[in-house]
Structure 1
Amino acid sequence: MAKKLRLVGSAEIRVLLGGVSRQRAYQITSRRDFPEPVAMLQMGNVWLAEDVEKWIAEKRPEMDQARPADHDGVAAAGSHGMIH
């Protein structure tokens, strides 16, 4: 069975960053050192969850420690390419 692709949009990134505002999430995701989105959709950009989580661990270690162990709110793309 193929590994599911875990994707996050700006709403999930806001949660991963501790509930920052939409404006602050935009500022952070626009930084040169933030991972590049894997797709630019009409609804907005999407990133690989593992890239964002790695960035948070490296750049904002206090946020990484505060995150819950599970990945609630992180979308997964199944075999049909749809985001759940």
Structure 2
Amino acid sequence: MAGELLWTTADIARRLGISVEHARRLSHREDFPAPTQHIRYFNLWRATDVESWLTEGRQDR
């Protein structure tokens, strides 16, 4: 895991061009990747997992 880029919901929101609240709702979907770390009040996702979800696994295209 060392060296991997990790994203918060704010990072996901920036990547998608949506609000942080919308990114938070997306992160609760069954098909969204599971967070890889929990730090205090933050969930963290591997950027590569989110990018894969965007290009391959997203069901609402």
Normalising by structure 2, report the TM-score. 0.81
Give RMSD over aligned pairs.
Answer: 1.9
How many matched pairs? 58
The answer for unaligned runs of 5 or more in structure 2 is none
- Structure ID, larger Rg: 1
Spell out, residue by residue over 1:28-72, the C-alpha distance to the aligned partner (whole angstroms, 9 max, x if none).
000010000001111410001100000011228x8xxxxxxxxxx
Q: Which has the higher helix share?
A: 2
Identity %: 34
Residue 38 of structure 1: aligned partner: 36
Q: Using the alignment, how far apart are the partners of 2:46 and 2:28 within structure 1?
A: 15
The answer for unaligned runs of 5 or more in structure 1 is 63-84
Q: Using CA pairs below 8 Å that are at least 6 residues apart, which structure has the higher relative contact order?
A: 1
Q: Which runs of 4+ in 1 moved over 6 A?
A: none
